[in-house]
Each structure stands twice: as structure tokens, then as C-alpha cells.
Amino acid sequence: MSATLPRSFLGLPAPAKINLFLHVVGRRPDGYHELQSVFVPIDLCDTIDVCAAEGGRIERLGELTGPVERDLAVRAAQLLQQRAQAGGWRPGARITVEKAIPVGAGLGGGSSDAATTLIALNRLWGLDLPRSELAALGLQLGADVPFFLGPGPAFVEGIGEQATPLPLPPAWVVLVFPQVAVSTAEIFADPKLTRSTKKTTIAGFSAALSALDRAPDPGPDVRSRAWGFGANDLEPVVRGRVAPVDAALRLLGQHAPARMSGSGSAVFAVFAQEAEAQQVAARLRMQAPPGWSVWSVAMLGELPLAPW
């Protein structure tokens, strides 16, 4: 069987995502929080190589950000390997991850790595599982993983696993990472976190975006109302606990309405024109404290591996 399969897939992208808003609308009896958000992939990507390995070995090369047994790409490969074993075959793989997405930044880098690994090994091993089955496996790794197995931007509900595709107009993002990691678990456990935001709808979000379509040359006020829909309910908690996140929001906020992504620590602002985003990013690189990272990247209308 293995002789007829490819031996490797190289240079596969695993993109980051931002949360245009993030509402905590309740808490389930099992302790998980009910969320509403819009996830948007952006053109900041980790890069993954997968190669066939003999003897059913799962090997992890490249930068590790923690113990190998907790690495989401490794755990994704192990889950898919177990699925293959149910059919009587134990395939192996060598996985190399080149990191570009910072860890603990609220950008979903680990979840994206897991999703790209599932997609790649599904092909490498010739399993041909549908995306829905890969998403069910991915959900065992984290609530964000199914999003990265979908087509692109999405209105997300539940604990993050319910994603409805949501077309968005082209836009660019200036992203600031203040070189500090934030623990998602600690933020969700904080007693100051608001957990009762009123639920919204796709229609409500889309109505705010429609202002961009009605205005031939939308000014900053129109853009702010559209892309600034809702809030990130985690942001006040993180700002009070993590001073660099508060500083990053203040710095970026001097140029455009700024918001934190996920549980932080990265913050972003949305721009209609690439040139404007690049100009703001250039200014921020001169203004930001040493070591901070600033990117100007496109919002992606489709996840890179969606056509696979």
C-alpha cells in the first residue's frame, strides 16, 4: 500500500487567525464557556513538512514550544494514526514545523498546526477521510482546530466548534505582538470575566459590515463601526493582568481602533487599503519597544489548504 503513496508534502502553510470580536455568552455545566466570534485567517503562517517514516514512528523536528508529548501536531498525527490502525495499518510520519506564529498570542498557531498536519497526513497515508471526520478528530485536540479544517472566515459558536462560513470583504490587518504569552485557561478562570454577553447573530454582524458596501470610500468612522462590531470580552481581564497587552492596545490605538485577538497577547487593527496598513506598521516598528513584533498582513478569504 505505502509504495503507491507520496513520500512527502513540503512547505504546507498553517495560517494564524484573528477574532474580529469574542463574546462570552454563557458557561456550560461542564465548565466550558459558550462563545460567539468571527474567526478570520490571516497571511501569517507556520510552515509544515510531512514525510513518511518507517515502523509507525511519529517524529517531530523543528522548533518545539513545549514538551513533545503536548505538541498539537504530534497529537494530531497520533490521533490519525489510531484511526488508520482501526483499518489494520500503522503508518508513520516525520513532521517538521517552522514557527512564525507566536505562542500564547491568541492567534491559534497550535490549532492551525494540528489542522494542517491532519490534512497532510490524511493525504500522505492515503486515508481519504472527509473533512467532517478530520474535524471530529481535531475537536479532541482543541475547539479551534475544526475552524482551520474549514473553508475560510466563519461565524463561530458553541465552545468554538460550530463554524458557519462567512464571506468577508478584502481587508488588511496590522498585528502587534508584545512578546508576552497569555494563558487562556487563567483568563477564562478569572472571576472578573463577564460571562453573560447578549447573543448576537450572523445577520447582526453582516448588517454592520454592509456599511462598507454602501460607502464608496468609507472613512475611519465607518470602518470602525463595521470592523469594530461587538467587543472582546476577555480584553479587560487581560489588560488588567498583563501590562504589555494594555501598552500594545494603547500604542496601536493611536493609529486605528485596536482590539485583542482571542485571549491575547496579540492585538490588531483592520484597514481597507494595503498601503495604509503598511504605513501604520512601519510607524509602529519605530515606536514599539525593542523586541516587539509588528506585521502588516492580508485577511484571507479562503484557508490555503481548503481546495485539498
Domains and CATH numbers, the chain: 2-165 (3.30.230.10), 172-298 (3.30.70.890)
- Dump pLDDT digits (tens) for 259-271: 999 999 999 999 9
Torsion of CA 133, 135, 140, 145, to 10 degrees: 160
User: One-letter amino acid identity for 220?
Assistant: P
Q: According to the model, what pLDDT value does residue 78 have?
A: 98
Q: Which residues are catalytic?
A: 17, 144
Closest CA to 74 of 90, 55, 92, 95: 95
State how far the Cα of 131 lies from the Cα of 110, in Å rounded to an integer: 19
Average pLDDT over residues 209-226: 61
pTM of the full structure: 0.94
109-124 and 72-85 are packed helices; what angle lies between their axes, rounded to 10 degrees? 30
pLDDT of residue 212 exceeding 70: no
Helix (H, G, I), strand (E, B) or coil at 237: helix
Residues paired with 297 in a beta bridge:
173
Average pLDDT over residues 114-133: 97
% the chain with pLDDT above 70: 94
pLDDT band at residue 49 under the 50/70/90 scheme: very high
DSSP state of 302: S
pLDDT band at residue 5 under the 50/70/90 scheme: confident
User: One-letter amino acid identity for 82?
Assistant: Q
